[in-house]
Amino acid sequence: MPKRKRQDTVDAVDAATVIAEEKKAQQGRRLQHGRQKCERLCLPQQVKDMFRSWGEDDYMEYADNSRVAQKSDPDQVAWYNYVRDHGCCGSCDIELTVDGEVWLLGCNYGH
């Protein structure tokens, strides 16, 4: 009987590991998909101008992890948040509405 309980425990742990690995793989696929979509975005001129203006500000001298996403696209937003969360120190994030579409723009800055 103890052997059976031990096997049940091992099976439960294995199942939990498989589920966790699958969730991680799904998240990775979603992030990759969001990244590809963000990289192919055709940015409106107003969004490009906003990024350009950030480059002219002294306090943004060390900005990195620049990112942009359409707020209406959950895959793009997932990638945007991932990039923000894995950047340096502070972050600057704004929403800009252009022709009814809300754009998320951001970067990390510091050091």
Q: What is the pLDDT of residues 21-71, one digit of tens each?
A: 777 777 777 667 666 766 666 677 777 777 677 666 665 677 778 888 899
The domain total for the chain is: 1
* 59 strand-pairing partners: none
The whole domain housing 45 covers 2-109
Cα torsion through 70, 76, 78, 84, rounded to 10:
-70
Tokens of 67: 């990112």
pLDDT score of 15 more than 90: no
Cα-based angle 77, 69, 87 (whole degrees, multiple of 5): 70
Instruction: Report the alpha-carbon distance of residue 109 to residue 74 in Å, rounded.
Output: 25
The per-residue pLDDT for 46 is 78
